[in-house]
Amino acid sequence: MICTFFGHRDCPGTIKPKLSEVLVELITNHGVDMFYVGHQGQFDAYVHGELRRLKQEYPQINYAVVLAYMPGKKTEYGDYSDTMLPEGIESVHPHYAISWRNNWMLRQSDYVVTYITHTWGGAYRCAEKARRQKKVVINLKNLLTLT
């Protein structure tokens, strides 16, 4: 099972305990063993850090930071060992790359974990698309139960 993440760029650190709780639930009770996360904002950074930590405790899981662009400057991201470029993104115009990458991640996923506080923006649109596709969507803002 695969999980992906969409959240607002700005995100409070207070979501970290909820994030950890949801990830452990997905790993231990729902068979999620692959996670895809972007790298555009604070939410993605929190998710990436928590996945890196959980990989030590649950070695059966894997994760990838899914890039929207070919890396440029060496200091742009740092360590690229846990990153990937989705197949096909090389032919996407840079203006559409994040949206294309998000749609790719959504197509792969069974579960979607979000942090959404308002009804506009890319994270909200991705969550709504996931709901229409009958994916399980968990908003950390509300800590929805897995159903």
In SS3 terms, the chain reads as CEEEEEECCCCCHHHHHHHHHHHHHHHHHHCCCEEEECCCCHHHHHHHHHHHHHHHHCCCCEEEEECCCCCCCCCCCCCCCCEECCCCHHHCCHHHHHHHHHHHHHHHCCEEEEECCCCCCHHHHHHHHHHHCCCEEEECCCCCCCC
pTM of structure: 0.88
Write down the pLDDT at residue 37.
95
Write down the pLDDT at residue 143.
72
146 — pLDDT class (breaks 50, 70, 90): very low
Fold of the domain spanning 2-139: Rossmann fold (3.40.50)
Write down the pLDDT at residue 76.
56
- Tens of pLDDT, residue by residue over 71-120, are 765 545 566 678 888 999 989 998 999 999 999 999 999 999 999 998 88
Which whole number is the average pLDDT over 55-70?
93
145 — pLDDT class (breaks 50, 70, 90): very low
Name the average pLDDT for the chain.
89
Domain boundaries, the chain: 2-139
